Amino acid sequence: MHELAASDPIIKGYLTDIQHLKSQDVEHELGLKAPFHNLLDKAAKRRGWTLVAELSTYSGGKRVVPDGTVRDEFRLARGWWEAKDTSDKLAAEIQKKLKAGYPARNTIFEDTQVGVLYQDRAESGEFPLREPVAIAALLNRFLSHDESDEREFERAMDEFKRNIPDLARSLREHIAEAHKKTKKFKEAFEAFLTLCRTSLNPDLTEPHVDEMLIQHYYERLKRYEAFEGLCFVDTLDMAEQQGNLFSLANTERVERENNAKITVILGNPPYNVGQKSENENNPNRRYEGVDERIRVTYAKDSKATNKNSLSDVYVKFFRWATDRLEGRDGIVCFVSKTVLLTNSPSTACASTWRRISSALTTLTCMGTCAEIQSFPGRRTMSSAYR
């Protein structure tokens, strides 16, 4: 990393901006935030990183909102920044923030007079913010910090980037050569292509199947690029506070997913019919946010007296998904059951969907299991689509 020098223009600019605000008798936190924000933002960009203001995160099982989060090119948090008033006692304010769950892996606490750096959950040093040399030292130490797991991650990613393109290129060349010269390969490939078109998609082409072979090769080598959108989370809980979600990386992925502007939602919601008696200990779980939305929409539109069916998990997922579009044009497609369209009070759901949608399309898989089994010779859903 190219280190900042005390004479760097961004440090000079910071000191000039602070001096100007002081000359205007600005002392409150909000008024003094901008100079350090600009300084940290410019310094981070030199590493290809990004400073994101007021980004909520989970730390120590608590939801906190630091003034700034510095993210790397993989959108992973590399450090945090928290500003305080010049009238505050900085040491006492830092302890309050730490007790509130603010991260201390790599965090700058500052009040325009002094910057206190916490790294690896311990104080790492104090830096006078009127001295260019101290400011440069603070930023260099902050931006160069990494933990052992982060170093290993970067090493693995560098190796992955170096090796995988060569492996893929070589494998594609071998497959192309086999298509031209190897009779057994061509016969086996044609049989496999026919099988894929029959069982997967009739529109599959030879290049599609070539890519499948390459992916299978990657699987055998256990060399895959991580899918950064994968989250281990209860979907219906995503809009509500969950605490620390198993790991920092998973928590950050969930946070990124919540902030994404999604326009297509496809899925097969888990089905739980509930319980016949309290002894089964298997009730449908309550989700305060989703349940309230159902109460003021589907339940309000229903004329039925007994509205218990609106606690169905399928109903909850449709309510969550349509809200998740956040007013944007989009598509929601779920594997579901026909009673949502035919039985009261579930028909209130369909009434709402028709009102808010430009199109409502259903694909019926031969009716319900009960209907299918009542007709001799008709297969059940499970056997028909196994």
Distance of CA 98 to the CA centre of its chain: 25
DSSP codes joined into one string, 47-72: TT-EEEET--EEETTEEE--SEEEE-
Between CA 344 and CA 298 the distance in angstroms is: 11
For β-strands 122-128 and 331-334, DSSP reports them as: unpaired
Residue 256 lies in a domain: no
pTM for the whole thing?
A: 0.43
Contact 35, 14 (CB under 8 A): yes
Query: Based on the domain organization, do 33 and 133 belong to the same domain?
Result: yes
CB atoms within 10 A of CB 163: 12
Assess whether 69 and 103 both reside in one domain.
yes
Query: 162 and 40 in one domain?
Result: no
Q: Are residues 56 and 110 in the same domain?
A: yes
Statement: residue 300 has pLDDT above 60 = yes
Residues 303 and 354 in one domain: yes
Q: Are residues 305 and 358 in the same domain?
A: yes
| Arithmetic mean of pLDDT over the chain | 78
Residue 161 located in a structural domain: yes
Tell me the pLDDT band of 377, cut-offs 50, 70 and 90.
Answer: very low
pLDDT digits (tens, 9 = 90+) for 88-118: 789 999 999 999 989 898 999 999 999 999 9
User: Is the same domain home to 84 and 196?
Assistant: no
- Cβ neighbors of 189 (< 8 A, separation 6 or more) are 178, 179, 206, 209
Each residue of 211-253: pLDDT tens digit? 777 766 655 555 555 667 778 777 887 756 555 666 677 788 8
Of 327, 262, 317, 274, residue with least CA distance to 293: 317
130 shares a domain with 36? yes
Instruction: Say yes or no: 154 and 139 in one domain.
Output: no
Q: Which residue, 117, 145, 173, sits at the end of a domain?
A: 145
The answer on 154 and 140 residing in a single domain is no
Domain span holding position 178: 150-221
Kindly report which listed range (73-87, 146-160, 225-239, 277-291) carries the lowest average pLDDT score: 146-160
132 membership: H or E segment, kind and range: helix 132-144
Q: Measured over all CA atoms, what is the biggest interatomic distance in the chain, rounded to whole angstroms?
A: 89
Q: Are residues 136 and 157 in the same domain?
A: no
Residue 272 DSSP one-character state:
-
Cα gap 110→82, rounded to integer Å: 7
CATH of the domain at 106: 3.90.1570
Residues 6+ apart with CB under 8 A from 143: 1, 43, 44, 47, 49, 70, 78, 79
Q: Is 362 left (phi over 0), alpha (psi -120 to 50) or beta?
A: beta
Q: For residue 250, tell me if it sits in a domain.
A: no
The angle subtended at Cα 325 by Cα 322 and Cα 331, nearest 5°, is: 75
Q: How many structural domains comprise the chain?
A: 3
Q: Are 328 and 263 in contact (CB under 8 A)?
A: yes
| Residue 39 CA: distances (Å) to CA of 2, 42, 194, 223, 240 | 16, 5, 60, 40, 34
Which residues is 179 bridged to in the sheet?
A: none
